Structure 1
Amino acid sequence: MAQDPDCIFCKIVAGELPSLVVAEDDDTVAFLDVNPATPGHTVVIPKAHHRDLLTIDDDALQATLATARRVAATASDRLDAVGINLVNNCGAGAWQTVFHFHVHVIPRYEDDPLRLPWVPTPGDRDEITATHARLTA
């Protein structure tokens, strides 16, 4: 299993750093975030080191997302969450700070303080159509 000796998440996988594990299998581990956005905020990672969404292989991605779904279901059931955000930040420009692929499972509650920075507003139809053409060319 590929590891990066300087990666904080690889150190958690290796048992070199403490964590509060909430789920684990052969390929993934999920642990509570030490800087939680809401109660139950969990980080789900593949045990093998993959830098980000653009470099992770399909099998590791599938395993990580399956664990994230299990963690989300548990949080919804046991923490009485009214919703769940799954968040992945890919690259420094998207707020990725730990360069080991991970998914945040963030339980949401009535009146919780978390506000994400993006607020949907109607887009320009011509720009949307032009973007579509670029993506499908």
Structure 2
Amino acid sequence: MCVFCKIVNGEIPAYKVYEDEDFLAFLDIAQASVGHTLVVPKKHFSNFLEADEETISKLFVLAAKLAKQITQNLEVAGFNILNNNGTVAGQSVNHLHVHILPRYEHDSITIKFAQNHLSESEMQALIARISHK
């Protein structure tokens, strides 16, 4: 059983922020920033691709509500909503979850994307590959 399932089942304690019949939100034990919260479905899905549409929809609606609450109550400057899928993407627990990462002026978090510029033909080829069913 995964660590998040153990938290959901009450086998491991957690600092709960929110709980309902389908979801649990709790503070990440490794606070990347003050208020760093994880939102997990109680039903086990290894990642985003395994979950059904209803779960994904409810997960992100709840994440948005909690992000608003965190932003107001902790007076943050902004926030990131993150979902990592696969080890290469930084997923360390194989249970679908979303990070709500409050951001503060001058915090030490850095999220950068490389600027990969593709030619027109490369972009069109990429569209064809992505759109192919």
TM over 0.5: yes
Cα-to-partner distance string for 1:17-71 (whole Å, 9 max, x where unaligned) = 0100111111101000001111000000000001101101111112211211111
Quick one: which amino acid aligns to residue 3 of structure 2?
I
Residue 75 of structure 2: which of 52, 56, 80 is its match?
A: 80
Residue equivalent to 1:7: 2
Residue equivalent to 1:125: 119
Q: What's the TM-score once normalised by structure 2's chain length? A: 0.92
2-structure distance, mates of 1:17, 1:76? 27
Would the aligned equivalents of 1:88 and 1:102 in 2 still touch at CA under 8 Å?
Answer: yes
Q: What's the TM-score once normalised by structure 1's chain length? A: 0.90
Which residues in structure 2 correspond to 1:1-137 (within 5 Å)? Answer: 6-116=1-111, 118-121=112-115, 123-126=117-120, 127-137=122-132
Give the unaligned 5+ runs of structure 1.
Answer: 1-5
Q: What SS does the aligned partner of 1:29 have?
A: strand
Quick one: which amino acid aligns to residue 7 of structure 2?
I
Give the unaligned 5+ runs of structure 2.
Answer: none
Percent same amino acid at aligned positions?
39
Q: What SS does the aligned partner of 2:40 have?
A: strand
1-structure distance, mates of 2:53, 2:78? 27
Q: What SS does the aligned partner of 2:63 have?
A: helix
Q: What SS does the aligned partner of 2:58 have?
A: helix
Deviation at 1:111, TM superposition (A): 0.6
Would the aligned equivalents of 1:37 and 1:114 in 2 still touch at CA under 8 Å?
Answer: yes
Moved over 3 A (4+): none
Q: What SS does the aligned partner of 2:61 have?
A: helix
Would the aligned equivalents of 1:46 and 1:63 in 2 still touch at CA under 8 Å?
Answer: no
State the aligned residue count: 131
